[in-house]
């Protein structure tokens, strides 16, 4: 099984098959559950499939052979985890859109209003989305456990999946605290980046695949040298897109990160370099959910004029260089092409 289109297609097929089996299993609960299960399938539809791709790459680097179907299913399990994180993230951030469509909690609220049900539609949407995220997290564990590997192999790899889940939730909480406090240093913002994104998106999926293949600790450690800086570069690119991305491409409204008051590395760089007037603009705009497009543009100008955007791009290049340098390790060098391609997909993107 190769990476990229073939793997992405296979992962999508595995997700569909798993969801179909769950629908059949839950059919006795009646028709009211159908929209909920449809939302579960929709939550994992599309996306970059990066975590699955890194998991499969870890399998290849770890020396895995055969078991193509099992690797596809184990890799696909990470897509349920990602879907769970996004559903919950949209609730936390009160994001109304995801990939150009209503977010899960917004869609449930819309359905409530359309049906004329009693109670608060927004409260219903939030509750349904929280339950949906829980379901998707459960499906991730179930799909991984039943991927087709021997129980001993699953047991060997599971600690990396456990670490992935624990780290991303912890990083998400640090992000939430940063927004609540309303201030952050570059150091603190980078800590959030490492645990919310770098380990979750790149390092742990690579570890998971490598552990399934039976890789030794030396390979695991070598993968970390590549994965952590690359994962950080991935999130810093996300921070740029959250402020400067094209909504038609990202599927999210322009400037949403600013309205949510996210204390990103980009924001931290801007504060470090801001004049008193620029700092006042940042203080007055960040975290304001009613920020107009014109106000977003003014904050973008601050990011540019302070040199924060240019500095962040320099950070991204430096992190990419560190990841690339790690590919000279004897354990990784034979797979440098595969890992370099994944690095490009992760960082040189517009969505």
Q: Which two tokens stand for residue 136?
A: 């998707």
Q: Which contiguous run of DSSP H or E holds residue 208?
A: helix 204-213
Q: Is pLDDT above 80 for 194?
A: yes
For position 68, what pLDDT does the model report?
Answer: 82
Burial 192-222 (b: 16+ CB within 10 A, else e): bbbbbbbbbbbbbbbbbbbbbbebeeebbeb
Nearest to 204 by CA among 230, 178, 173, 186: 230
Mean pLDDT of the 80-96 span: 95
Q: Which pLDDT band, with edges at 50, 70 and 90, does 1 fall under?
A: very low
For the cut 50, the answer to whether the pLDDT of residue 3 exceeds it is no
Q: Using the 8-state DSSP alphabet, how is residue 148 labeled?
A: S
Residue 4 phi, psi dihedral angles, 5° rounding? 70, -130
Residue located via tokens 């989305």 = 129
Indicate the average pLDDT of the chain.
Answer: 94
Q: Is the pLDDT assigned to residue 105 strictly greater than 80?
A: yes
pTM, to two decimals: 0.94
pLDDT at 25: 97
Quote the percentage of the chain above a pLDDT of 90: 86
pLDDT at residue 250, rounded to an integer? 83
DSSP letter (8 states) at residue 286: T
pLDDT given at position 24: 98
Per DSSP, what are the bridge partners of residue 98? Answer: 101
Which residue from 200, 220, 218, 202 is spatially nearest to 210, judged by alpha carbons? 220
d(CA 303, CA 311): 10
Assess whether pLDDT exceeds 80 at residue 84: yes
The pLDDT value recorded for residue 335 is: 98
Name all domains of the chain by residue range, CATH numbers in brackets: 1-46+68-148 (1.10.600.10), 150-351 (1.10.600.10)
What is the C-alpha separation between 3 and 1, in angstroms, rounded? 7
pLDDT of residue 109: 98
pLDDT for 350 equals 83
C-beta of residue 50 within 8 angstroms of C-beta of residue 177: no
The pLDDT, as a whole number, for residue 5 is 52
Residue range 309-334, pLDDT digits in tens: 999 999 999 999 999 999 999 999 99
Q: Residue 2: what pLDDT?
A: 43
Residue 53: per-residue pLDDT: 97
Task: Report the range of poorest mean pLDDT among 93-102, 229-238, 314-323.
Answer: 93-102
Q: Tell me the average pLDDT across 16-29.
A: 98
Rounded to the nearest angstrom, the gap between the alpha carbon of residue 164 and the centroid of all alpha carbons in its chain is 11
263 pLDDT above the threshold of 50: yes
Give Cα 263 distance to the centre of its chain: 17
- Confidence at residue 4, expressed as pLDDT on a 0 to 100 scale: 47
> What pLDDT is attached to residue 67?
63
| Model confidence at 276: pLDDT above 70 | yes
**170-182: average pLDDT:** 92
Please state the rounded mean pLDDT for residues 111-133.
97
Band the pLDDT of 55: cuts 50, 70, 90.
very high
């Amino acid at each position: 099984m190769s990476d990229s289109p073939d793997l992405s297609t296979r992962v999508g097929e595995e997700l569909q098959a798993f969801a179909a089996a769950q629908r059949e299993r839950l059919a006795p609960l009646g028709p009211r559950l159908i929209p909920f299960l449809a939302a579960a399938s929709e939550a994992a539809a599309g996306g970059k499939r990066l975590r699955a791709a890194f998991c499969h790459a870890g399998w290849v680097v770890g020396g895995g052979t055969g078991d193509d179907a099992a690797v596809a299913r184990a890799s696909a399990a990470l897509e349920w985890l990602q879907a769970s994180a996004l559903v919950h993230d949209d609730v936390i951030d009160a994001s109304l859109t995801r990939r150009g469509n209503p977010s899960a909690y917004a869609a449930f609220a819309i359905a409530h209003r359309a049906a004329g049900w009693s109670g608060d539609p927004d409260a219903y949407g939030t509750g349904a989305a929280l339950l949906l995220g829980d379901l998707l997290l459960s499906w991730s564990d179930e799909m991984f456990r039943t991927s087709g590997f021997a129980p001993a192999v699953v047991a060997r790899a599971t600690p990396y999946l456990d670490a992935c889940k624990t780290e991303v939730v912890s990083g998400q909480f640090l992000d939430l605290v940063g927004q609540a406090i309303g201030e952050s240093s570059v150091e603190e913002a980078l800590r959030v980046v490492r645990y919310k994104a770098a380990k979750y998106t790149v390092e742990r999926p690579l570890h998971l695949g490598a552990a399934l293949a039976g890789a030794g600790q030396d390979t695991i450690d070598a993968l970390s040298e590549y994965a952590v800086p690359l994962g950080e570069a991935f999130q810093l690119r996300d921070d740029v897109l959250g402020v400067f991305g094209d909504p038609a491409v990202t599927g999210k409204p322009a400037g949403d990160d600013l309205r949510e008051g996210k204390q990103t590395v980009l924001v931290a760089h801007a504060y470090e370099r801001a004049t008193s007037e620029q700092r006042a603009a940042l203080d007055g705009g960040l975290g304001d959910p009613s920020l107009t497009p014109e106000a977003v543009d003014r904050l973008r100008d601050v990011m540019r004029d302070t040199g924060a955007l240019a500095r962040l791009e320099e950070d991204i290049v430096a992190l990419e260089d560190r990841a690339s340098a790690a590919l000279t390790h004897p354990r990784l060098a034979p797979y440098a092409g595969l890992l370099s391609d994944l690095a490009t997909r992760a960082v040189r993107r517009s969505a």
